Amino acid sequence: EYTVNKIAAGEVVERPSSVVKELIENSIDANSSKITIEIQDGGKNFIRITDNGHGIPSEEVEKSFLRHATSKISKIDDLYSLNSLGFRGEALASIASVSKIDLITKTNNERIGTKICLEGGNIINKEPIGSSVGTTIIVKDLFFNTPARKKFLKSSTAETISITDMINKLAIGNYSIQFKYINNNKIMLTTPGDNSLQNAIRSIYGKNIANNLIPISINSEHLNITGFIGNNSIYRNNKTLQHVYVNKRYVKSKLILNAIYEAYKGIIPINKHAICFLNLEINPKKIDVNIHPTKLEIKFEDEQYIFNLIKNEINKSLLNSTL
């Protein structure tokens, strides 16, 4: 019952960027090697995600919109050991209940694909349709039936910024997947998906950042950390270029960011923020289960150990690089 409450506490659909996040994670879970995201007007009226993943068999299409019908795990403790990002089986159901959806999907084993249309969670049409293998989902008119929530949406510009940030973080965390992002018919981003984190960073954040990175490889008993940190020339006024992933899942961890801040002390100006792209591979048993699934927060069992390790090792790498 503890687990169930923890899961239920996570409201999936807050704003367009949370829809985009859930849909991209489904595409990742479906083993896609290419994901295209298209939005209009901050995603408030139009979001389309196209992937080349394994698709949904026709007879299971309705079921994927049922709450908890598809949950991939039964215990939240499995969360960080899972290979899949989805685990609550409620994203599609939640999104469908507050929008109008068209989904087209086809698996490798099917000759013909399936199209299903829903409004406010109700199926209004299902028919066979020609399609390539994979899934396309269109989410229209978000919150059309919940005006109170619609009112809380920010400007198209603000919602677009939030979506762009979400896509950047997911594209960095899944750099072997090719991401394409189109905003109001304009291509904003194409990542190579060539298995190089540095190439993904270059395509998203540009040459100046990609060419001023220090590789990081920290190995300790319960924890491996890999990725890149910025050298002393590319710091920022804010924390938007701080990317921390735990077992490939993007997280917000004050502990880790504070450790990084300490590591850069005396190396970059005070009150400036380092740039980092770090993935922590950690034994799931060393992560506290007291996490919030949508807010991306995480707690570690041995915080002092992790803090010191990151602070000291990153500081060492920084000092070595300036020798």
Which residues form the interface with ligand ADP (CB under 6 A)?
Answer: 22, 26-27, 29-30, 51, 53-56, 64, 70-72, 86-93, 135
User: Could you tell me which stretch among 42-50, 64-72, 83-91, 122-130 binds Mg ion (CB under 5 A)?
Assistant: 83-91
Applying CB under 5 A, among 12, 20, 37, 91 the residue interacting with Mg ion is 91
Shortest separation between residue 190's beta carbon and ligand ADP, angstroms: 20
**C-alpha distances in Å from residue 153, one per residue of 14, 22, 42, 159:** 9, 18, 10, 8
For the chain, how big is the Rg over CA atoms in Å? 20
- Nearest residue (CB) to ligand ADP, 22 versus 313: 22
Shortest separation between residue 174's beta carbon and ligand ADP, angstroms: 14
186: Cβ contacts below 8 Å, ≥ 6 apart:
none
Q: Pairing between strand 178-183 and 34-40? A: parallel
- Nearest residue (CB) to ligand ADP, 161 versus 289: 289
How many residues lie near Mg ion (CB under 5 A)? 3
- Nearest residue (CB) to Mg ion, 53 versus 230: 53
Which option in ligand ADP, Mg ion, none does residue 87 bind, with CB closer than 5 to 8 A by kind? ligand ADP
27 binds Mg ion (CB under 5 A): no
Q: Which residue has the tokens 């984190």?
A: 197
Burial of 236 (0-12, 13-18, 19+ CB in 10 A): middle
Q: Rounded CA gap, 237 and 232, in Å?
A: 13
20 binds Mg ion (CB under 5 A): no
Q: Please list the residues that pair with 163 across neighbouring strands.
A: none
Shortest separation between residue 164's beta carbon and ligand ADP, angstroms: 21
Applying CB under 5 A, among 17, 18, 26, 114 the residue interacting with Mg ion is 26
Q: What count of Cα atoms within 13 Å lies in the side-chain half-sphere of residue 225?
A: 23
Q: In this chain, which residue has its C-beta nearest to ligand ADP?
A: 86
- Nearest residue (CB) to ligand ADP, 53 versus 193: 53
Shortest separation between residue 297's beta carbon and ligand ADP, angstroms: 19
User: Cα 130 to the chain's mean position, in Å?
Assistant: 30
175: Cβ contacts below 8 Å, ≥ 6 apart:
191, 193, 195, 196, 197, 199, 200
Shortest separation between residue 26's beta carbon and Mg ion, angstroms: 4
96 binds Mg ion (CB under 5 A): no
- Nearest residue (CB) to ligand ADP, 116 versus 204: 116
280 binds Mg ion (CB under 5 A): no
- Nearest residue (CB) to ligand ADP, 38 versus 51: 51
- Nearest residue (CB) to ligand ADP, 49 versus 213: 49
Structure tokens at 29: 């879970």
Structure tokens at 93: 């159901």
Which option in Mg ion, ligand ADP, none does residue 88 bind, with CB closer than 5 to 8 A by kind? ligand ADP
36 binds Mg ion (CB under 5 A): no
For 284, which DSSP code? G
**Which strands form 249-250's sheet, in the order they lie side by side?**
213-219, 223-230, 276-282, 242-246, 249-250
